[in-house]
Amino acid sequence: MLNGKKIAVLMPAYNASETLEKTYSEISEALVDYVLLVDDASSDNTADLARNLGISTYEHQANLGYGGNQKSCYSEALKLDADIFIMLHPDYQYTPKLIPAMASMLMTDVYDLVIASRILTGTALQGGMPKYKYACNRFLTLFENMLTLAKFSEYHSGYRAFTRKFLETVPWQKNSNDFVFDNQILLQALFFGFRVGEISCPTRYSPESSSIDFFSSLRYGIGVLKTAFQYRLQRLGLMKFKIFSND
């Protein structure tokens, strides 16, 4: 709990047994009230390890994809009486030590969503981000900023924090079950007028960290471009898309 606000850490997991314990060990027990892991039908012992660590664990019987995993994370998390929700990957690519800072940005009622940016530090490449991913990140971010008129340093970090009001309002259930879910929910935040803040986050790629392959990255990039066009078309009143509608 922080200033009377309860905090829940949500972990979308898939074959994370090698890094889960290390990630979990850096979560502050004095600050975080709940830790919830959703296992997306891993082929390793991620779910068993999570339970042994004392983490509340929900298992998919079939793989639903990265976005499908997040949908389960939010659906289960909203059953808790938490006020702030931190989305933390259990692959140790993002440091849990930023949880207090991210939670503080939300509990002061300054922001509704916080994204941890790997670009603000200027050390993404030194941290191991592949050059082609860095180049794609910069191009897609520039393109999206042009269409949304926002000024984010990046749209593609998976490390986020949300208020309860945000998750109860935005129609994230309508988003893709694939990796583009992350991008859709951020553009939904902009569309529905929520306040989005950024915090710098060190880049940390390692052999144990999860990483999507080239073709999945290509599909993600196409999905990002599509979502940005949908955002602008609906803003202009030319077309209507379900992800930007609460009907």
pLDDT at 213: 73
pLDDT at 17: 95
Strand order in the sheet with 113-117: 56-59, 34-39, 7-13, 84-87, 160-163, 113-117, 196-200
Signed CA dihedral, 152, 221, 70, 241: sign only = positive
pLDDT at 22: 95
pLDDT at 207: 61
pLDDT at 223: 97
Pairwise CA distance, residues 51 & 39, whole Å: 11
Q: Is the pTM of this model over 0.85?
A: yes
pLDDT at 210: 56
Helix and strand counts by DSSP (H, E) for the chain: 8, 7
pLDDT at 97: 95
pLDDT block averages, 10 residues each, the chain of length 247: 88 96 94 97 97 97 97 97 97 94 93 95 81 91 96 95 98 97 98 97 72 79 97 97 93
pLDDT at 129: 82
pLDDT at 116: 96
pLDDT at 208: 59
How many residues are listed for the chain in this entry? Answer: 247
The pair of structure tokens assigned to 237 is: 């009143």
In 108-160, where does DSSP find H-type helix? 131-148
pLDDT at 108: 86
The pair of structure tokens assigned to 212 is: 């999507």
pLDDT at 138: 94
Other C-beta atoms lying within 10 Å of the C-beta of residue 210: 17
Pairwise CA distance, residues 197 & 114, whole Å: 5
Query: 71: part of which helix (H) or strand (E)?
Result: helix 65-77
